[in-house]
Amino acid sequence: MSSQKRVKDSQAQKSTSQVSNSYQTNLLAGEEKEDLNDSKHSLKHGQDNPAEDYGHADDQGEDALQIAMRYFEKGSAVNTRILKCMIPTTLISEDSVVKAVSWLCVGKCSGSTKVLFYRWLVAMFDFIDHKDQINLLYGFFFASLQDDALCPYVCHLLYLLTKKENVKPFRVRKLLDLQTKMGMQPHLQALLSLYKFFAPTLISVSLPARKKIYFKNSENLWKTALFAVRQRNHGPPPEPLKLMLDPAQVRPVKRKWNSYSVIPALNSSSCSKECGKKGMTLSDYLSSNRSFPLEQLKSFPQLLQNIHCLELPSQMGAVLNNSLLLHYINCVKDESILLRLYHWLSQTLQEECIWYKMNNYEHGKEFTNFLDTIIRAECFLQEGFYSCETFLYKSLPLWDGFCCRSQFLQLVSWIPFSNFSEMKPLVFDHLGQLFFTSTIYFKCSVFQSLKELLQNWLLWLSTDIHMKPMMNSPLETTLGGSMNSVSELIHYVGWLSTTAMRLENNSTFLLHFILDFYGKVCDIYINYNLPLVVLFPPGIFYSALLSLDSSILNQLCYIMHRYRNNLTAAKKNELVQKTKSEFNFSSKTYQEFNHYLTAMVGCLWTSKPFQKGLYINPEVLEKAGIAEYKNSLNLVHHPALLSYAVSFLLQEWPEGRTVNMSSIRGKKWNWYLDYLFSEGLQGLKLFIKSSIHHSSVP
Amino acid sequence: MDSYDTPESTPRHSASSRLKDYFIGATPLQKRLESVRKQTSFIPTPPRRKIPQCSQLQEDNDPQKVAFLLHKQWTLYSLTPLYKFSYTNLKEYSRLLSAFIAAEKQKGLAVEVGEDFNIKVTFSTLLGMKGTQRDPEAFLVQILSKSQLPSENREHKVLWTGWFCCIFGDSLLETVSEDFTCVPLFLANGAETNTAIVGTWFQKTFDCYFSPLAINAFNLSWMAAMWTACKMDQYMAATEFLWSVPCSPQSLDISYAIHPEDAKALWDSVHKTPGEVTQEEVDLFMDCLYSHFHRHFKIHLSATRLVRVSTAVASAHTDGKIKILCHKYLIGVLAYLTELAIFQID
């Protein structure tokens, strides 16, 4: 019982510290009278198999824990059995735990029983209803660390119990003494790192950079039973108790001293704050007391409640991995937060970028992952980082167009809105060089990311305009300036796509991506409420109109339909407003559209193609054997639709020996239209419904 | 991260204000961005620089400390601005950093902050080490070993030294808010492991970022020209260049030493604008050296890579190592290094 004595002695020594009073009164209370009305929180007696125990009613109403502890006087075999069977029905009252602890001090129980008791306490910790009283016994538990056998379990209990105010210099010293005596023990390490978390200025600890389990699982003995209790109490099982430190802190060793992982772990900035504590004013002190540690931030409501007193991470880069903090930096006005992120991200991108350094390609995977993380954050924020923009400026000229292609092009699509003509030499000229010398797949990806870029810019602008009218803002904050920038982007893509079509021999595949871009362009006025309509260049329009692919033609029809709607809406607004606004579209846009429309209707519907502005010598046509060309581009004969016409005829008149295309006219023409629409050519349907008067069936 | 599929119609309230700021260029972040754009779109280096002037050290410098910085090989790093660094807390930093080092050295063990270890860390300012009054004070960090023997109690052996400075760092100072301390140039001497530990501590504590600062051949030529242009009372060391020829299995180094007075004479012959060095002069100076070498050895040095420049003022290696020899031009050398460091963190 020497260990018992030690415990008592040290307890006596500590009697000056905060715990002694309440501890002693509880001890007395435990000996003299028992709290018999502990009905709400009760424990059960159990048989050997605790799982069978749940059915039993708690008829005694007496604190079973007390009884168990009283068995300390008897042989250890009995109370070991009892302890093993003690499973709470719902919760354990704090009082009974305190009393039970007091029985520990009577000096009758053996070391192994104590160990079992502590293990039980750790396992049941979550079921104890309050912990304030138990926390008052902190000094007592702490003193029990002296006992070598108890030490791991007491450490575990203290780990669960420790609050900031429990961390005292004398305790730190004691723990460090123990560490020197016992060497590097995982349980001591755990407790010390917790202490360090609460008081970084008192203690310094560096954890080995590999995953470590600090505590043996004390729950094992009661595992299945506890699981059942939990399920009964809370429904589905909650997450397992977090005994290890944050997994983010456990990282693979890396080649550089700069970082174990690229993105720093999330740590509150308490360290640097406490560094300055000498200069702290009272109000600083009060506010720091109320601050909310990041490590505890787990949910959005928590963020909202504590947004005024949130402790920021010591390394701002950590926000990239934390969506809640991304919310926070999205709304914060503090420039220094953004600057910290900016500097960190710029430097990290530069350092990690693999084509900056020769022979560094083995870290390619890591860099790709890092870029992915950044892009995820940008998508989450719906906003690009300036650091990424500057990174693009610097790295695009050196990029091979192959490495991390998808990530890189996504970064391009998240370039924050700005003046296009300023950006062009920095980004788009370099991208253009790669574009023209790369495969068709690269070209398609570029169009894809330019489409996303356009979409992001439009979203920015549309929300911005609705926030406040940009009436008297200086410089380019005018809507006109912004629209100019967007229209320059669209014209640039127009130029790019025309050239690309020529380079790639009018590839249908490429054209899909180009038309996809114009699918966004044609709807700017209506979808984003921005006064801009830019038509596609002739090179794209005619390529699409004469395409052999029906889906291209369908896409074109849809875009024309949307252009029409947008232009009509714009016209209507102009008429309503009367006042000459700066954003009335020039008549050139309307003329251009009408020209395209006439060409389309002439080809597809009226069989009078290209009547204006195009003269082909009849001799040439005769030589080519297509003297009768006029109807060869209508809905029936158009190369993209010919197969539809044939299957239409075969389906309707399966017995017909010859397929007579010209027979599709009059009523049959209408049936044919319905057939086309039913085949999924919805764009065509919309186009015909909106642009063609049905009286004019050929 | 919860979800990334935020619908595209989500109103973004913050965007509006930032957008406006963006155009006005009012915030420090905007100024940063502007400066990066300028630097990227135009020639990265200004075509002319001042020849370092004699002793620009401020009056209040400590000659002993300055002497300590000379004749040592320093490894260069660039450093982003320190967040919430305070010159009044240097003592506290010493205490924390020494505990951190002790803990790092015995990984897994916890150590008490302020406990007596056999190492000691000191932070001290390097008074007068600045270009303008706006430059923040330079400071020195040292790791000292405490001797176990009582007789030698006073004698601390310096294990590692590092110092932070900012000389004529206006372009950077303009673009940060007052929460930041800009000391973009960091120089370290001692074991790399110590640099790593100290750097890690700084990064964790002040949310900054260290990157090794290499000096490319272009900048080395500038150094060669500017340092040759410095007036010296007497030359203590030869002017020497080292070129590297990439050939297998071993690369071939070509060393080219010139009497410093000859180098100066060559410089004077190409130098036109008083007090300044221009890009043309730098090119011309190097071309003269190349053609001279070619005349004798029939080797085109311009096809090789310049890796080291040593003059009586200082010597610099492309790996980012520097040794400053001349007290008079300390500030001038540091000003150029600061410029390179700022360029790297932009």
**Contacts A179 to B, Cβ<8 Å:** 109-110
The nearest CA of chain B is from the CA of A204 a distance in Å of 5
Q: Where are the domains of chain B?
A: 63-212, 215-318
Q: Provide the number of CB pairs (under 8 Å) joining chain A to chain B.
A: 216
Q: Mutate which of B19, B175, B193 to test chain A, going by most A C-beta atoms within 10 A?
A: B19
Check CB contact of B133 with chain A, cutoff 8 Å. no
In the numeric block, which tokens belong to residue B11? 């109103």
Q: Mutate which of A173, A343, A460, A484 to test chain B, going by most B C-beta atoms within 10 A?
A: A343
**Contacts B19 to A, Cβ<8 Å:** 417, 460, 464, 477
Interface of A with B in 311-340 (CB under 8 A): 314-316, 321-323, 326, 330-331, 333, 335-336, 338-340
**Contacts A425 to B, Cβ<8 Å:** 41
Angle between helices A169-182 and A186-198 (to 10 degrees): 160
In the structure, what pLDDT confidence band is assigned to residue A266 with cuts at 50, 70 and 90?
confident
CB within 8 Å: A208 and B8: no
Q: Kindly report, residue by residue over A615-672, the tens digit of the pLDDT.
A: 777 787 788 777 677 777 888 889 999 999 999 988 888 777 777 778 888 888 889 9
Whole-number mean pLDDT of chain A? 77
The nearest CA of chain B is from the CA of A466 a distance in Å of 9
CB within 8 Å: B103 and A330: no
Q: What is the DSSP letter of B8?
A: T
Mean pLDDT of A590-615: 83
Residue of B nearest to A429 (CA): B41
Q: What is the DSSP letter of B334?
A: H
Q: Kindly report, residue by residue over A357-382, the tens digit of the pLDDT.
A: 554 556 678 888 899 999 999 999 88
Asked if residue A527 lies in contact with residue A461, where contact means CB atoms within 8 angstroms, the answer is no
pLDDT of residue B125: 93
What are the residues facing B73 on neighbouring strands? B323
Strand blocks (E) in A486-626:
none
CB within 8 Å: B37 and A258: no
Asked if residue A103 lies in contact with residue A109, where contact means CB atoms within 8 angstroms, the answer is yes
The nearest CA of chain B is from the CA of A443 a distance in Å of 25
Mean pLDDT of A671-687: 93
Check CB contact of B260 with chain A, cutoff 8 Å. no
CB within 8 Å: A335 and B14: no
pLDDT of residue A458: 94
Interface of A with B in 187-226 (CB under 8 A): 188-189, 192-193, 195-196, 201-208
Residue of A nearest to B20 (CA): A477
The nearest CA of chain A is from the CA of B101 a distance in Å of 9
Residue A178 scores a pLDDT above 90: no
Interface of B with A in 67-86 (CB under 8 A): 80-81, 83-84, 86
**Cα–Cα distance, B25 to B42 (Å, whole number):** 19
CB within 8 Å: A393 and B195: no
Interface of A with B in 372-411 (CB under 8 A): 376-377, 379-380, 382-383, 386, 389-390, 393-394
Check CB contact of A347 with chain B, cutoff 8 Å. yes
Asked if residue A489 lies in contact with residue A456, where contact means CB atoms within 8 angstroms, the answer is no
pLDDT of residue A624: 77
What does the DSSP assignment read for A169-183? HHHHHHHHHHHHHH-
**Contacts B104 to A, Cβ<8 Å:** 206
Q: Of the segments A160-169, A503-512, B233-242, which one has the largest average pLDDT value?
A: A503-512
Residue A49 scores a pLDDT above 70: no
CB within 8 Å: A339 and B20: no
DSSP H helices, chain B, are: 13-24, 28-41, 63-69, 90-105, 170-173, 192-206, 217-229, 260-270, 279-297, 330-345
pLDDT of residue A362: 64
pLDDT of residue A420: 92
Residue A526 scores a pLDDT above 80: yes
Below-70 pLDDT ranges, chain B:
1-28, 38-47, 54-59, 108, 114-116, 147-155
In the numeric block, which tokens belong to residue A237? 């099982």
Could you tell me which residue, A181 or A471, shows the higher pLDDT?
Answer: A181
What separation in angstroms does the CA of B138 have from each of A263, A625, B144, B332, B333? 29, 87, 20, 15, 15
Among A102-111, A401-410, A594-603, the range scoring the smallest mean pLDDT is A102-111
In the numeric block, which tokens belong to residue A657? 């020996």
Residue of A nearest to B106 (CA): A206
Cα dihedral A228, A233, A234, A238 sign: negative
Nearest to B311 by CA among B212, B242, B216: B242
pLDDT of residue A56: 37
Q: Kindly report, residue by residue over A561-575, the tens digit of the pLDDT.
A: 999 999 999 888 877
Residue of A nearest to B21 (CA): A477
Interface of B with A in 134-193 (CB under 8 A): 176-177, 179-180, 192-193
Among A85-94, A204-213, A331-340, A593-602, the range scoring the smallest mean pLDDT is A204-213
Check CB contact of B302 with chain A, cutoff 8 Å. no
Q: Kindly report, residue by residue over B180-239, the tens digit of the pLDDT.
A: 999 999 999 999 989 999 999 999 899 999 999 999 999 999 999 999 988 888 777 889
Check CB contact of A181 with chain B, cutoff 8 Å. no
CB within 8 Å: B89 and A278: yes
Interface of A with B in 464-523 (CB under 8 A): 464, 466-468, 473-477
**Cα–Cα distance, A22 to A157 (Å, whole number):** 20
CB within 8 Å: B96 and A455: no
CB within 8 Å: A339 and B19: no
Check CB contact of B42 with chain A, cutoff 8 Å. no
**Cα–Cα distance, A184 to A187 (Å, whole number):** 9
Residue A411 scores a pLDDT above 90: yes
Model ipTM over 0.90: no
The nearest CA of chain A is from the CA of B304 a distance in Å of 18
What separation in angstroms does the CA of B329 have from each of B78, B131, B238, B266? 21, 12, 17, 20
- 3-class DSSP assignment, residue A541: helix
CB within 8 Å: B209 and A347: yes
Model confidence, pTM: 0.74
What separation in angstroms does the CA of A365 have from each of A319, A362, A407? 21, 7, 12
CB within 8 Å: B89 and A279: yes
**Contacts A205 to B, Cβ<8 Å:** 103, 108-111
Residue A60 scores a pLDDT above 50: no
Q: Kindly report, residue by residue over B236-260, the tens digit of the pLDDT.
A: 788 999 999 877 777 789 999 999 9
**Contacts A464 to B, Cβ<8 Å:** 15-16, 19
Cβ-in-10-Å burial (0-12, 13-18, 19+) of A584 comes to middle
Cβ-in-10-Å burial (0-12, 13-18, 19+) of B225 comes to buried
Interface of B with A in 89-108 (CB under 8 A): 89, 92-93, 96, 99-100, 102-104, 106-108
**Contacts B88 to A, Cβ<8 Å:** 278-279
Count the residues in chain A: 698
What are the residues facing B322 on neighbouring strands? B74, B316
B82 φ/ψ angles, rounded to the nearest 5 degrees: -80, 130
Q: Mutate which of B5, B182, B207 to test chain A, going by most A C-beta atoms within 10 A?
A: B207
Residue of B nearest to A348 (CA): B209
Q: What are the residues whose beta carbons fall under 8 Å from the beta carbon of A557, sequence distance 6 or more?
A: A600, A681, A683, A684, A686, A687, A688
Q: What are the residues whose beta carbons fall under 8 Å from the beta carbon of B293, sequence distance 6 or more?
A: B256, B299, B301
Residue A247 scores a pLDDT above 50: no
**Cα–Cα distance, A624 to B241 (Å, whole number):** 74
CB within 8 Å: B207 and A477: no
